[in-house]
Structure 1
Amino acid sequence: MKQVAERAGVSTSTVSHVINNTRVVSEDVRQRVLAIIEEMRYIPSAVARSLKNDRTQTIGMMVPNNSNPYFAELIQGIEDAAFKVGYNVILCNAYEDPKKQAAYLRVLIEKRIDGLILVASSADQELARLLRALAVPIVLVDREVDGVPADFIKADHEEGGYLATRHLIELGHRDIACISGPADLLSSRDRVRGYLRALREAGLRFRLDYLVRSNFTGEGGYRALQRLLRLPKRPSAVFASNDLSAIGSLCAASEAGLRIPDDLSVIGYDDIALASYTTPRLTTVAQPKYEMGQRITNVLIERIMGGHLPTRRELLQTRLVVRQSTATHA
């Protein structure tokens, strides 16, 4: 900064004001300083600027597993919205490991982030303690953490599970299984509640052996469907609680010699980009992933900029996307 000032014939404080827009500087001087900054390839120190204005223009984000395409599409919406307002995003991947989650949270605190977006891998006491000690705004996504006052945004997973199951019922299916996610996740439990609500409304009996827990992965869906196919009475349709599980189910069905959707209807959840390119193309319930990412970022930035609104809980709507993996049951 001193070298820029010497070449521009101005003080270092003037260079600082040009960079940070902290005081009105004449247009001639501003253009001269900016030209020299460009010529010298000078990059202002983010650390120094943050010490002065107490902002790093950085958001921390933690997800359970970014190998899941759902999170990739959510992150894109978050990054695009952050970039528009001059914020960078530091992404951490906890891989569903509570210890790694806590360690990465400490790293983000050390980086002096201005705010945090968290999709929790677990909600243990250590996580709650760290979040309560974090002196920046927090937006929780899909999974709440007890005792942590924060904005909370999720899709309406119960309604999504209901839409998926009702679609199968309307196609004439009566033996409908559900491949669920982990029981300790709120989003997973909500989708199962929607499944059960649709069965009740249709007067269909819930069979415990038709509810199989999985882990939201392709392998989990593959193993879950193999288990369902070993039952004395096979289901005619399956609601898989995410698209990766549904894709794993398609693979297991194919290996078992079943034709989709003639022998078995399969519906997923999320509407990841890959769902349009399976064989057959996957019927699913779409979450507004990109729009949700943008909304999450906008809420967080508003908090960072000093918004004093009450803590918010927002529920975004899902929708049914009918493709080729479901059909009328004779």
Structure 2
Amino acid sequence: MKMSDVAKLANVSPATVSRVLSHPELVSTETRQKVLDVINQVNYKPHIVARQFRTKETKIILVVVPDITSAFFSKVLRGIEHVAVNHGYQVILGDTENDIEREKEYINLLLQKQADGMVLLTARLNKANLEEISNHFPMVLACEYIDGLNIPTVSIDNISSARKATEHLIKLGHTKIAHITGTINVILSRDRMRGYQQAMMSHDLDIDSAYIQEGDFSFESGYNQMLKLLALENPPTAVFAFNDDMAMGAIKAVKDSGLNVPKDLAVVGFDNIKMSSIHEPNLTTIDQPKYEIGKKAMEMLIKLINKESIHKKKIVMKDELIIRESCSSESKVRESLEVI
């Protein structure tokens, strides 16, 4: 069964069948459905290799993530895939496991033209390398970013959102606020720490270096760094963690130390993953519009692939502070600690 056979049965031109397979958005709903009905009826399978030789397209999008085990990325990926599928593309996933060498390997697939474009959810390569690649191949950054990089990017403002999370604790009366960072060589970790520092300084609060502990994004590191904070002679009464995973690890450490959240210590996370609303206590956190970030990034990549102009290369999405049960006022914490 050839494309021309499908065209005859559907009473359309072979070019229309080709458009339905490669750019369905260019074909009317009625015609597209008529062709798809014939394709399903005769079980037509396009010759992928032949199409690649003819069109120089793979119809494949490569999405590179730093850690596939992170719950945060599932909704971002869903947004990417929904847009990709609607435009006739397949999505292949690459997990770097936070290894820059693995990131280079996946980018080489793009350089070898084994994908039509790439969405990078991690950006650990240097600015010059990424800009050079983007000059020749369609590429969009999402979630992570690099200052001054001239590549289409979709993210939130991590500095202001971290400042918002810290100020929530300050408004509750806390003055001894700790921060568990992500790996500090990642720009998101540095920006969220900067937001924390800005909030503390703007309220004339001391920033104790012992109150800043570096984690590695994982539940376990949140647990371990929280134990270090609790072991201080003058422990904090509140903690802002880089992400929800580490925040939940911190809460576990507090519980295992015989204390209570929020009664003895307030905790704020970041990302608003699904578990944050189920965890006990429910976690106060910063919500990122994860699905919308993925959707917008893929829409931008489609435009790049089709050589369409992008008027706004840097898109900053809106975040939101979600207030739940894991925070308490400083006065209540002090009263609890005095009883202990």
Same fold flag (TM > 0.5): yes
Deviation of 1:291 after TM superposition, in Å, equals 0.9
Corresponding residue number in structure 1 for 2:94: 92
Amino-acid identity (%)? 33
Please state whether the residue corresponding to 1:90 is helix, strand or coil: strand
Instruction: Tell me which residue corresponds to 1:250.
Output: 251
1:220 aligns with 2:221: yes
Is the alpha carbon distance of 1:9 and 1:206 closer, same or farther for their aligned partners in structure 2, counting shifts above 3 Å? Answer: closer
Output the amino acid matched with 2:193.
V
- Displacement after TM superposition at 1:34 (Å): 6.7
| Structure 1 position 88, deviation (Å) | 1.7
- Measured in 1, the distance between the counterparts of 2:299 and 2:288 equals 18
- Note if contact 2:6-2:38 (Cα within 8 Å) is conserved in structure 1: no
Deviations 1:71-121 (A, max 9, x none): 112111111122222222111101111222222222344463221111236
Task: Note the C-alpha offset of 1:163.
Answer: 0.8
* Maintained 8 Å contact 1:109/1:134: no
Stretches of structure 1 that go unaligned for 5 or more consecutive residues are 23-29
Q: Could you give the per-residue CA deviations for residues 18-76 of structure 1, whole angstroms, max 9, x where no partner exists?
A: 42049xxxxxxx99987764343121123322322232322111010011111112111
Number of aligned residue pairs: give it. 321
- Taking structure 1 as reference, are residues 3 and 269 closer, same or farther at Cα in structure 2, changes over 3 Å only? closer
Aligned to 1:205: 206
Distance in 2 separating the partners of 1:52 and 1:36? 23
Q: Deviations over 1:273-297 (max 9, x none)?
A: 1100100000001111111111111
SS at match of 1:178: strand
| Alpha-carbon spacing, 1:129–1:73, altered in 2? closer, same or farther (3 Å) | closer
Pick which of 278-287 and 76-85 moved more.
76-85
Report the residue type matching 2:261 in the other structure.
I
Tell me, yes or no, if the aligned pair for 2:276 and 2:282 is still in contact at 8 Å: yes
State the shift of 1:184 in Å: 1.1
- Deviations along 1:118-142, whole A, 9 cap, x unmatched? 12362258x9279627732111124
- Residue from 12, 15, 18 that aligns with 1:17: 15
The residue that corresponds to 1:26 in the other structure is: none
Greater shift, 99-108 or 238-247, is seen at 99-108
Deviates most, 111-120 or 248-257 = 111-120
Q: Structure 1 CA distance, aligned partners of 2:186 and 2:112? A: 29
Structure 1 segment 143-154 matched on structure 2, within 5 A: 143-144=144-145, 149-154=150-155
The TM-score normalised by the length of structure 1 is 0.87
Q: 2: CA distance between counterparts of 1:9 and 1:318? A: 51
Shift of 1:200: 1.1
Q: CA RMSD in A?
A: 3.0
Secondary structure, in 3 states, of the residue corresponding to 1:61? strand
Is the partner of 1:248 in helix, strand or coil?
Answer: helix
Counterpart residue number, 2:70: 68
Corresponding residue of 1:267: 268
> Structure 1 pair 246/32, CA: closer, same or farther in 2 (3 Å)?
closer
Structure 1 residue aligned with 2:48: 46
Q: Structure 1 residues 34, 319: CA separation in 2 closer, same or farther (over 3 Å shift)? A: closer
Check the 8 A contact 1:159/1:318 in 2, yes or no. Answer: no
Distance 1:129 1:76, change over 3 A: closer
Look up the match of 1:179.
180
Distance change >3 Å, CA 9–CA 142, structure 1 → 2 = closer
Indicate the residue corresponding to 1:321 in structure 2: 322
> Compared with structure 1, are the counterparts of its residues 251 and 143 closer, same or farther at alpha carbon in structure 2 (3 Å cutoff)?
same
Matched residue, 1:82: 84
Contact preservation (8 Å) 2:58, 2:115:
yes
* Residue 229, structure 1, aligned to residue 227, structure 2: no
Residue 120 (str. 1) matches residue 122 (str. 2)? yes
Instruction: Pick closer, same or farther for the CA change 1:15–1:174 going to 2, 3 Å.
Output: same
Is the 1:128–1:146 contact (alpha carbons within 8 Å) kept by the matching residues of 2?
A: no
The answer for unaligned runs of 5 or more in structure 2 is: 21-31, 332-340
Residues 200 and 99 (structure 1 numbering): CA distance in 2 closer, same or farther, change over 3 Å? same
- Which amino acid in structure 2 is aligned with residue 82 of structure 1? A
Q: Distance in 1 between matches of 2:49 and 2:276?
A: 43
Aligned residue type for 2:304:
R
